[in-house]
Amino acid sequence: MIINQQASFDKFKKELNYCYEKVPFYKKHLDSAGARPDSIHAIRDIINLPFTEKKHYRKNFPLGVLAQGYKPNDPRLTRSQSSGTTGERLVTVEAGILLLNRAIKCARVNPSINKALSNYVKKTCRYAAPNCSDVECANPNSTMQDRILDDGTLVLPVYHDLLTTSEELIARALEEVCDYQPDLYYIDPTHFAFLARQAKSRGISLPDAPVMATYTGPTLCARRQIKAAFDGKRSVIELLASSEMGWIGMECPHGRLHLNTDSFFLEVIRDGEYAELGESGELYITSLDKGALPHIRYKTGDAVKLLDEQCPCGNPLPVAAMQGRMMNFIKQNNRYIASPYEIDQLIGAPAWLDQYQCHQIDENSVVLKIIVNDDYQPEQGEKLAAEVKRFLGEGWSVQLEKLNYIATERSGKFHATKSDISTPTVFGEANAIA
């Protein structure tokens, strides 16, 4: 599926020419694939262009991938670092003004975020894995002033391994957020759901502001807990973003994720072909704004399903459902069996469940780890494990483990569904949820 319409093809061609002429890496990359820009005559030719990946940018950064006219220490550039979800952290730059434009275009689908962005004085509060922030927030001795960034973002203190965060640090984070009275939360949903549970158990209501969830996909359980921390008045707004691209998609007030096709040319690729509407595939992104670090057909490692629906909010940007990181899919016989999104829909948000992890350990087994609260009855966990087993099908073993602690990944992120099976190359027939 090519998500953009024909109108974006002209922009795509211009970006391709720009990359070929101004970015040394792209000249080499396209030439070695025998795919010069003048071989692209129609939108259907795009699939013949070679894709790009993180490793290309890591290897060629900065001089090979930086467009002519920009220098690595250019004051116009914003520098950021990936969290290291797939290994080594990736350093990336882009012109600050372009990142802002991408964000503004993306935020048009959500009035409350749009409003927060247009505030002259911004007070954003961030709560996420320390790797996702640019300050030392895991150090118990850091002060609030140490953690306020130049743009007015307060980064709340948290440990790298979320569930080992000390009582002292939790109390400090809650005190700071109440003091700071943010006008926007920019958070990882697993992390913020943890803080929300802590707030609730202490009888604290969090200051009211829109909650934008990014870094990982929000589970239904995290959504429930975060909403409760705002007395039911705030729903989580999902933001699809990456350190390389900035803002790619955002949830509207009707709970649909709209993709920012104003700023990007987007493709959904399934086993080397374009995915059909309603089919999962990997999201490939091409930037369109002739930036400092342009990308052509950049493989994101994120699976997405484009939906054939007109959103009631009236926004014309296409609607998609994020399926999760492809490496986290449940897999068998070299095929994808279930996405983190599908598993999450199955788990749902029962009141007794605080957090879970569905962890595939071999070709036929998953361990369903649950952290529960006082509402829990033993048969509820067994029932959920039986549902996961039924969903995965014949021959699967699902072992239930009731725990008080589940470790985060090395990056500091928490994956609600994850797999120890290395990534296959073929999409399986997706299981339908009954």
Residues of this chain that bind Zn ion (CB under 5 A): 252, 254, 256, 311, 313, 315
Whose Cβ is closer to Zn ion: residue 15's or residue 251's?
251
Task: In whole angstroms, give the CA distance from residue 175 to residue 231.
Answer: 18
Amino acid in position 31: D
Whose Cβ is closer to Zn ion: residue 311's or residue 370's?
311
Whose Cβ is closer to Zn ion: residue 195's or residue 252's?
252
CB of 114 to Zn ion, least distance (A): 13
Whose Cβ is closer to Zn ion: residue 315's or residue 355's?
315
Torsion of CA 99, 100, 105, 111, to 10 degrees: 140
CB of 204 to Zn ion, least distance (A): 32
Whose Cβ is closer to Zn ion: residue 79's or residue 254's?
254
CB of 251 to Zn ion, least distance (A): 8
H or E, element range at 391: helix 378-392
Task: In whole angstroms, give the CA distance from residue 98 to residue 120.
Answer: 18
Quick check: 370 and 401 in contact, CB under 8 A? yes
CB of 255 to Zn ion, least distance (A): 8
CB of 124 to Zn ion, least distance (A): 24
Task: In whole angstroms, give the CA distance from residue 315 to residue 403.
Answer: 43
Task: In whole angstroms, give the CA distance from residue 262 to residue 266.
Answer: 10
Six token digits for residue 310? 């007109």
Six token digits for residue 9? 């093809």
Sequence-distant (≥ 6) Cβ neighbours of residue 394 within 8 angstroms? none
Task: In whole angstroms, give the CA distance from residue 24 to residue 293.
Answer: 11
CB of 106 to Zn ion, least distance (A): 13
CB of 308 to Zn ion, least distance (A): 14
First to last CA, the chain: 26
Task: In whole angstroms, give the CA distance from residue 86 to residue 301.
Answer: 9
Sequence-distant (≥ 6) Cβ neighbours of residue 73 within 8 angstroms? none
Whose Cβ is closer to Zn ion: residue 108's or residue 254's?
254
CB of 239 to Zn ion, least distance (A): 14
Q: What is the 3-state secondary structure (H, E, C) of 274-302?
A: ECCCCCEEEEEEEECCCCCCCCCCEEEEE
Whose Cβ is closer to Zn ion: residue 56's or residue 256's?
256
Whose Cβ is closer to Zn ion: residue 58's or residue 254's?
254
